[in-house]
Amino acid sequence: MKNLAIIPARGGSKRIPRKNIKDFLGKPIIAYSIETALQSGLFQEVMVSTDNEDIAAIAKQYGAKIPFIRTNKNADDFATLADVVEEVVQNYDKLGKNFDYYCCILATNPLLQIINLKKGYEQLIHSSFASVRPIVKFGYPVQRAFKLKNGKVDFFYPKYKTVRSQDMEPAYHDAGQFYWMRKDGLLSHDNKGGFEIPDYQVQDIDNETDWYLAELKYNFLLNNKLE
């Protein structure tokens, strides 16, 4: 099988300036995604989709390919991940390079584990799903969520206020790490599969506090040799 890893990394991050190449415990954070993808042995090519020369230079330094630069249309605040992936696939088609499966790996992803990349790949190729991604369980029952209006707290779902938490169906959210895809579905298809990973392997990074928590989790995984 021929697989392509796509790492989207635009230069216009606003909440954390230069987020995709900011130093994370000794090297640019994008380096972790590139190196993990290369070390997994799952991909014939690992590429970075970017509109930024500095990101492109660093990506090449760590072994990624930059066969083309992302268009301005897909580098603004309104472009979706699906838009970026579709642009990459179309450009590779124009180059005459075809792959059996694609994996979109997010750039700020230092907690990414090779074992999870392999689990996602196995689930995709042995199922009819158009895409597969890791998910993580919410730490508290979402059925007991509150809404706050003018200081007053109310349940979103009052019928669950006396139900024991262990009797509620678990809820999950996207781990925000990677998406394995078939070419005929990519990310726009509704037939999505997923598998659970532990919360200590997951950290969304949108602000400086998130960044610090990601560093703590990275060191926790490293020091405890956990996957």
Task: Count other C-beta atoms under 10 Å from residue 125's C-beta.
Answer: 15
Q: Domain with 23 in it: what CATH number?
A: 3.90.550.10
Q: For residues 116 and 133, what is the distance between their CA atoms, to the nearest angstrom?
A: 9
At 226 the pLDDT is 64
Q: Is 84 a domain residue?
A: yes
At 227 the pLDDT is 58
Q: Is 158 a domain residue?
A: no
Distance from the Cα of residue 85 to its chain's centroid: 13
Q: Is 14 a domain residue?
A: yes
Is 131 in a helix, a strand, or coil? strand
**Under 8 Å between Cβ of 10 and 22:** no
Q: Report how many domains make up the chain.
A: 1
pLDDT along the chain (227 residues), means of 10: 96 88 98 98 98 97 97 89 96 96 98 98 98 97 96 96 94 98 93 97 96 97 80
Q: Is the pTM of this model over 0.85?
A: yes
Q: Is 148 a domain residue?
A: no
Q: Is 146 a domain residue?
A: no
Q: Where are the beta strands (DSSP E) in the chain?
A: 3-8, 23-24, 27-28, 45-49, 101-105, 131-137, 146-149, 152-155, 172-174, 178-182, 192-196
Q: Is 215 a domain residue?
A: yes
Q: Is 161 a domain residue?
A: no
Q: Is 25 a domain residue?
A: yes
- Residue 182 has what DSSP assignment? E
| Structural domain that includes position 83 | 3-136+173-224
